[in-house]
Amino acid sequence: MNITDIIENFSYLDDWEDRYKYVIELGKELETMPEALQVDANKVRGCTSQVWLSTRVTERDGEPVLHFLGNSDAHIVRGLVCITLAIFNDKTAREIVALDAESIFNEVQLRDHISAQRSNGLNSMLQRIKADAQNLL
């Protein structure tokens, strides 16, 4: 699933109950993260739920490209992980550092409808992704 499709699908859903259901459905579409990667070193700190994020780096035209795998023990959070990875996956480190994910979250009004704890966890995940990319530059 790519972020353009996700944004478009959100636009068809007027009711936030339907949007929550959609976020949960997105979580079911997450690329499988092997249990061997769900270790303490890959935990995202600052999340109330358990969230794991693994980063694989490849190269394209001499630039580092990042691919993330993520998982959570909470259904709604798995959906938030899916949305976040749809924004950042398979982009170069430069693109990731420059990307404004907040504008996407604002477009779908995501922050307005998740708890403060989930919002903090989302911030932690964004900081981790940006830091991984920045460390490669």
Structural domain total, the chain: 1
Predicted pLDDT at 62 = 94
Predicted pLDDT at 8 = 95
Q: What are the residue ranges in the chain where pLDDT is below 50?
A: none
CATH code: domain of residue 111: 3.90.1010.10
- The DSSP secondary structure of 57-120, one letter per residue, reads EEEETTEEEEEEEEEESSHHHHHHHHHHHHHHTTEEHHHHHH--HHHHHHHTT-GGGS-HHHHH
> Can you give the residue range of the structural domain that contains 61?
3-134
Rounded to a whole number of angstroms, the distance between the first and last alpha carbons of the chain is 27
Predicted pLDDT at 110 = 84
Instruction: Give catalytic status of residue 47 as yes or no.
Output: yes
Catalytic site residue from 6, 26, 44, 47: 47
**CA-to-CA distance for 31 and 12, rounded, in angstroms?**
24
Predicted pLDDT at 53 = 97
**CA-to-CA distance for 41 and 59, rounded, in angstroms?**
23
